[in-house]
Amino acid sequence: EDSYRRDFTMNALYADREGRIYDPCGQGVEDLKARRFRFVGDADSRVREDYLRILRYFRLMAWYSGKGKIDATALRACRENRAGLKVLSAERVWAELKKLLSAPDPLRAVRIMDTNDILEILLPEAGSIEGLAMMVGLEKREGLSVDPLLRLMAMGVRDELAIAGLVQRLKVSKVEKSRLMGWASDTTVLSPDMDEKARKTAVYRGTAPVIHDRALICAAGADSAMISKRWMELAEFAKVWNVPRFPLKGRDLKGAGFPDGSGMGRTLRALEALWVRSGFDADKKKLLTALQLMKGSDRQQN
């Protein structure tokens, strides 16, 4: 009786202490050997009991099916009941999506989701199969660890409004939201041909994690191995460069005789820009000297 409450036939297999296998449904062993996922009993009934089984079906396919056969009845039940995905809690959907995108190569499963109009229900903002394919290819070439969030970015477009909608709908964690929105909203201009000074400026302005993500996605979509290599170099630079801290604070300006007020913020930003243009080489002493020159220039103008 327990076996008929299971979702898939291969999940309804049992073993005793002597190692004997029991297959009450009569199809579990066969499906396991074929890497085929088949619902126990009536596929429509199993899916309607919990629409999350649609996502679970594709998640298991992504992880374990390889080039195994697709059960047409199971796939049809998923496709015809896909509207049920809309009633599921965001937390359950996001948890399954992350597991699916964490598979070594989820491309086959995601493509089948796409052709059966399931992907557009779950990820209308991130449906680029080509983007996912290129990221999976980069991971294999460069020996990168699987990163489901980076794969999701590769499937989407860097549109702040669209990604904000995705973040809100899926109720991702605060850390995930920060990463996704940082990537979507960054306006730093990047190029594979940036010299070290330009790289430092980009990483400082855009933040290292954001530039790292953007560079990896660019490397995945590069037109040539050479361009991809340059993007990878930028990604590695963003990962290892120890981003310096701007050496001045408001109290330093006060100590130098600069009055409180809104002008202090503007002056700090001007000095920070000067520090960035110096390649982050100007130390506190040089910046305070520049401050005195700026004050002298202001007095002459007044």
Residue 275 lies in a domain: yes
Residue 266 lies in a domain: yes
Residue 114 lies in a domain: no
Question: Nearest CA to 25 among 47, 45, 46, 4?
Answer: 4
Question: Nearest CA to 101 among 143, 133, 138?
Answer: 133
- Whether the pLDDT of residue 35 is over 80: the answer is yes
- Whether the pLDDT of residue 292 is over 80: the answer is yes
The span from the CA of 136 to the CA of 107, in Å, is 8
For residue range 209-245, list pLDDT tens digits in order.
999 999 999 999 999 999 999 999 999 999 999 999 9
Element (H, E) at 14: strand 14-15
- Whether the pLDDT of residue 298 is over 80: the answer is no
The pLDDT value given to residue 68:
85
- Whether the pLDDT of residue 297 is over 70: the answer is no
What percent of the chain stands above pLDDT 90?
74
List of residues 6+ apart from 96 with CB closer than 8 A? 52, 55, 56, 59
For residue range 166-218, list pLDDT tens digits in order.
999 999 999 999 999 999 999 999 999 999 999 999 999 999 999 999 999 99
Residue 107 lies in a domain: no
Element (H, E) at 228: helix 225-240
- Whether the pLDDT of residue 5 is over 70: the answer is no
Residue 134 lies in a domain: no
Residue 245 lies in a domain: no
Cα-based distances in Å from 128 to 94, 123, 202, 244: 18, 10, 27, 37
- Strand-pair partners of 63: none
Residue 191 lies in a domain: no
Domain boundary among 53, 68, 86: 86
- Whether the pLDDT of residue 104 is over 90: the answer is yes
Domain boundary among 70, 86, 102: 86
Q: What does the mean pLDDT of the chain come to? A: 92
The span from the CA of 157 to the CA of 296, in Å, is 48
The span from the CA of 251 to the CA of 219, in Å, is 43
- Whether the pLDDT of residue 112 is over 90: the answer is yes
Apex 127 CA angle, 126 and 133, nearest 5? 105
The span from the CA of 290 to the CA of 270, in Å, is 10
Residue 165 lies in a domain: no
For residue range 44-56, list pLDDT tens digits in order.
999 999 999 999 9
The pair of structure tokens assigned to 124 is 């209308």
Domain boundary among 56, 86, 116: 86
pLDDT category at 18 given cuts 50, 70, 90 is: confident
The pLDDT value given to residue 80:
98
| For residues 111-128, average pLDDT | 95
Domain count, the chain: 2
DSSP one-letter code for 21: E
pLDDT category at 41 given cuts 50, 70, 90 is: confident
The pair of structure tokens assigned to 78 is 């998923």
281 lies in which domain range?
250-301
